[in-house]
Structure 1
Amino acid sequence: MGLDQDVREQVSAALGGDVFVDDVRVTPAGKRRVARITVERPVAQTVGDSPVEPLTLDEIADATRIISDTLDASDVMGSQPYTLEVSTPGTDRPLTEPVHFRRAVGRLVLLTLAGGERTGRVLATTADGVDLHIAGTKKQQPHTEHVPFAEITKGVAQVEFTRPQSTSADADGETEA
C-alpha cells in the first residue's frame, strides 16, 4: 500500500462521516513533502435533485485541525517534515463519475458526447444519467433532456458569477436564467 492510501485511511477514519476525503496526494518538495488533501461534503447514495452544499470555511478549518492532529499523532508521514494543504475540489475538476453530477445539481455544465456537445443546467441525476435543462435558442424552445452517463465522454461545470436562484418555469412557461 502506498503513502497516499495510508494517509487516506488514517484521515478518513479520523474525520468519520462528517467530511469525505476525495483525494490525497503526498509529493516531495525539496527537503519537505506536501500533503494535499481534498475534502467534500458526503453525498447520500440515493439519486435525486437536491443540490449538495459545499463545505463552509469553518467546516474546512475544523477538518484541517482534525487531519493535522491525526497526522502528527501517527507515524504515517514519517520523520520528514511536511506541509499540509486541505481544500475542496475546484471548479476545474472534470465531472467523471455519477457522484460528481449529483454534486453539480443546479450548476451549468458542458458535456461532450459522442454526437456533439450539450450545455445545460443539471436538474437531477438518475441511476443511469443526468437530466439537463437546455436553454432555448431562436431555433429551439427550452426543454429538458435526459443524457445517459454512458454517452458522456467529458463533463465540466461552467463558472458562473451570478447563478440563477431558481430554474422553475414562470407563468409564461419560460425558464428563468
Structure 2
Amino acid sequence: MVDAMNRKIITVTVNGTTYEREVNVRTLLVDFLRRDLGLTGTHVGCEQGVCGACTISIDGQAVRSCLMLAVQADNRSITTIEGLGTPDNLHPIQEAFWENYGLQCGFCTPGIIMSVYEFLKENPNPSDEEIREALSGNLCRCTGYQGIIKSVKAAAQKIKQDEMVG
C-alpha cells in the first residue's frame, strides 16, 4: 500500500486537455501517459532514454518521457503523437512519413515524428546531415534511415506550403 507521502496530485495539459490526477511520486511520465491517460502512442522501448521511442514534446521541447517522472510534468503542457493529427487528418509530418515510406514496423515512428516536430520548428530547411544529427537519439532497427530522411525533407516542404496557404 502506498501512503499519502508517496503520492501527489498533478495537473497537466496533454494534447490541449487539462487533467488532474493523483500519482505515485515514482511513476515515470511514459507510464502515466500510457496507463493513466490511455495514450499508448508513446512507446516504451529501452527505458533508459537511449532509443527515443518515448519522445514527446513538453513546453516545446522534445523530451524522453522514460527519463522524467510524472510529478516533474506538473503544470506543464505536453504533446504526444495523438495530439498531432488523426487518421482522417494527418499532420504534415505524419503525411510525409506515410507518403515517403519513412517507417516499417512503426514502433520507433511516434518518437521520431515527435523529435522531427520540434526539430523542424527550429530548422525549417534542414540538410541531410542536420536531420541525421537531430535524429541521432532515435533508433530504428528496421530501416536504413533513407526513407526517414526523405520523409523529414518532405515534411519540411509540406509545412512551408501549409504556412504559405494558411
TM-score, scaled to structure 1? 0.25
Higher relative contact order (CA 8 A, sep 6+): 2
Higher helix share: 2
Higher strand share: 1
